[in-house]
């Protein structure tokens, strides 16, 4: 096992694909949990906090490679946090796309294209490998639609993936440019414990 502290952005920027195994439960965070995450990010982005710890992400890093150069990593623990922050980043991409339509910079040093390329997609890949995070069953289809900008607002949505994405979009839509920049700064401060299991040495019975 190899455990290291890592910024979430640095973790997501790996040239890798994070896969939620089929035996994991569906994405289940409630709006209250997403609101708490957003409040924590706002606090991190508006104070002198150097980092905000959101938990660990545990995955298997060896023996799961495809024909591509992109390693496919099975996420054993941390899928709820990983999915929720991915939905927030996707909502931020959508918001910046609207606000930056006239090429006016909203956040200094980044834009919608950069956020999508670094944290949502493996930009050089096609097909399944294009997406950095693969969820289970219906959740995966909905997350892909969000990342592909192929989802419309649905007040009757029953999927937590869609509901929480819409929640983040609505929250961001009410903020000023400066407040959106603070969200981005808060995201930059998110810290995880990156726990990589060596498949050759540690083979849990549930993998």
pLDDT in tens, 101-158: 777 789 999 999 999 999 999 998 999 999 999 999 889 999 999 999 998 888 878 8
Nearest alpha carbon to residue 166 among 80, 112, 94, 99: 94
Q: d(Cα 130, Cα 92) in Å, to the nearest integer?
A: 19
Nearest alpha carbon to residue 18 among 164, 183, 146, 195: 195
pLDDT average, residue stretch 29-53 = 96
Q: Is 200 in contact with 2 (CB distance < 8 Å)?
A: no
82 belongs to a structural domain: yes
Q: How many domains does the chain have?
A: 1
**pLDDT score, position 206:** 37
206 belongs to a structural domain: no
pTM for this entry: 0.91
Q: Is 172 in contact with 186 (CB distance < 8 Å)?
A: no
Q: Provide the H-helix boundaries in 100-201.
A: 112-119, 137-147, 160-173, 177-188
**pLDDT score, position 66:** 54
Q: d(Cα 157, Cα 120) in Å, to the nearest integer?
A: 23
Cβ atoms < 10 Å from Cβ of 182: 20
47 belongs to a structural domain: yes
Point out the least confidently predicted range of 18-22, 30-34, 137-141, 156-160. Answer: 156-160
66 belongs to a structural domain: yes
> Mean pLDDT: which of 14-18, 19-23, 32-36, 123-127 is highest?
32-36
125 belongs to a structural domain: yes
203 belongs to a structural domain: no
Indicate if the pLDDT at residue 21 is higher than 60: yes
204 belongs to a structural domain: no
Q: Is 141 in contact with 32 (CB distance < 8 Å)?
A: no
Helical packing angle, 79-99 and 31-46, nearest 10° = 70
pLDDT tens string 148-200: 999 888 887 889 999 999 999 999 999 999 999 999 999 999 999 999 997 65
Instruction: For the sheet with 2-7, list strands across it.
Output: 2-7, 190-197, 52-60, 72-77, 17-19, 133-134
**pLDDT score, position 12:** 94
171 belongs to a structural domain: yes
The domain of 183 spans: 2-197
SS3 144: helix
């Amino acid at each position: 096992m190899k455990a290291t502290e890592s910024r979430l952005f640095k973790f997501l920027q790996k040239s890798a694909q994070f896969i939620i195994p089929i035996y994991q439960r569906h994405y289940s965070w409630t709006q209250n949990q997403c609101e708490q995450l957003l409040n924590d990010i706002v606090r991190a982005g508006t104070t002198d906090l150097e980092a905000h710890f959101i938990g660990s992400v545990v995955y298997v890093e060896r023996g799961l490679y495809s024909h591509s150069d992109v390693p496919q990593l099975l996420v054993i623990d941390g899928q709820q946090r990983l999915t929720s922050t991915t939905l927030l980043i996707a909502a931020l991409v959508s918001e910046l796309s609207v606000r930056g339509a006239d090429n006016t910079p909203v956040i200094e040093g980044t834009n919608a294209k950069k956020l999508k390329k670094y944290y949502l997609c493996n930009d050089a890949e096609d097909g399944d490998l294009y997406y950095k995070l693969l969820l289970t069953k219906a959740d995966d289809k909905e997350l892909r639609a969000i990342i592909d900008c192929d989802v419309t607002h649905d007040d009757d949505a029953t999927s937590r993936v869609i509901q929480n994405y819409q929640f983040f979009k609505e929250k961001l839509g009410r903020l000023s440019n400066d407040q959106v920049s603070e969200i981005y700064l808060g995201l930059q401060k998110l810290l995880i414990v990156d726990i990589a299991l060596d498949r050759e040495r540690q083979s849990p019975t549930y993998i």
